[in-house]
Amino acid sequence: MKVFPSSTVSLAEHEGFTYTEGGVCAAEGFLANGLNCGLNPDKEKNDLALLYSTTPCATAAVYTTNKVQGAPIPVTKRHLDETGGMSRAVIANSKNANTCNADGEAKAEEMCRLAADALGLSPEEVLVASTGVIGQILPIEAIRGAIASLAAGLKPDGNKEAAYAIMTTDTVKKENAVSFRLGDTVCHLGGMAKGSGMIHPNMATTLNFITTDAAISPELLQCALSKVVKTTYNCLSIDGDTSTNDMVLVMANGQAGNEFVTSTRDPRYLVIEQALAIVMGNLTRMLAKDGEGATKLLTCTCSSAPDEDTAIIVAKSVIRSPLFKCAIFGEDANWGRVLCAIGYAEADFAIDKVDVDLVSEFGRIAVCRNGSGVPFSEETAAKILSSDEITVDVRLNQGKATGTAWGCDLTYDYVKINGDYRS
């Protein structure tokens, strides 16, 4: 049975932040719900979610860069353009991606209209997301028949129902939230994510919805999201496939009552950015740990790099190596696969200065120094790799920058899951 990590990394280095419950409902003024509308034949599994703010929200977003994009993406982009970056609600479904369908956008628009009518909003105030099988026609009738119950069931602690509704092959729901102060005002920021396979992002990953009751402009919220996504979701790779429906939405309704944040030079902006980094970082770890068929969370840290971009590129190259991911599953300290992945990373550095250690709760072992192997105990290495959380510590010894990437091992179950995904 998969042991899921505690949702969080330590806040010891993040003074003023406290973990709290509630996910997307941790922030004031946000309600959520989820139910089974019939898209998923398993009636015990929610497949339709609704997230709603009682007041308008500044909204930021990033999307997949795949040339094939699910119908919800252009609809969501269009709605945010029409409202100047404001929204009130998000409707999302699992089981069907609504992608590569001639009527896809029309049905995504209808999902927004249905939610808007139920909530007393205009359709452009509603954003939409879908996840599931690509290329199958979305049975909109199921959503149409459930929307009244979905909206009527909205509640300030409906985050769990919503988080379950966006899961596909995920084995656990993924939520995280923090509280913090902006001056004398207590604010909250929380989120939920889904994702287990088809994850190798470039500007986003999977479906991720984040809310805050802090007051901040859409432009600054977008600035914070675009910066934080680079070092969190964009540093995650499960299998090297970038999905067609990836989306991250951040909604800020200002109900905490803080003075409006309008400048990146405002110290309070940096606090909001840090809150976003904490929550998105934790959700990224959760997504990595729950990779399809995964048994181990794999982290690669690349330090003493010439610059941050190089560090991130190297760390991601190691994380996404299928051969190394297989070695981790087999608990085989085949460090040559790490060097191979470092070597084909598209960045400039000298390989003959690189050091590599393997690290877990059971200890640390050096396997490479100055680009060459060093003697080590296979027994000790096997013990270290028996942990369910393993770190590959890469030091380029050519600068001061650091980057981290997250992934998981590659197992027999990954093949089984994707061998019959449609069924």
Give the residue numbers marked as catalytic: 205
Nearest of 200, 40, 230 to residue 130 by alpha carbon: 40
Q: How many CB atoms lie within 10 A of CB 82?
A: 13
E strand residue ranges, 136-213? 174-182, 185-194, 207-212
Q: How many CB atoms lie within 10 A of CB 287?
A: 27
Q: Please state, in angstroms and rounded to a whole number, the distance separating the CA atoms of residues 158 and 177.
A: 14
Helix (H) or strand (E) holding 367: strand 363-369
What length is written for the chain?
Answer: 423
Residue 222 CA to its chain's centroid (Å): 16
Nearest of 404, 379, 381 to residue 393 by alpha carbon: 404
Q: Please state, in angstroms and rounded to a whole number, the distance separating the CA atoms of residues 101 and 105.
A: 8
Q: Which residues contact 156 (CB under 8 A, 6 or more apart)?
A: 25, 30, 31
Output the six-digit token pair for 319. Answer: 């994380």
Q: Amino acid identity, residue 238?
A: I
**Can you spell out the DSSP letters for 198-211?**
S---SS--SEEEEE
Q: Please state, in angstroms and rounded to a whole number, the distance separating the CA atoms of residues 48 and 207.
A: 13
Q: Are 34 and 48 in contact (CB under 8 A)?
A: yes
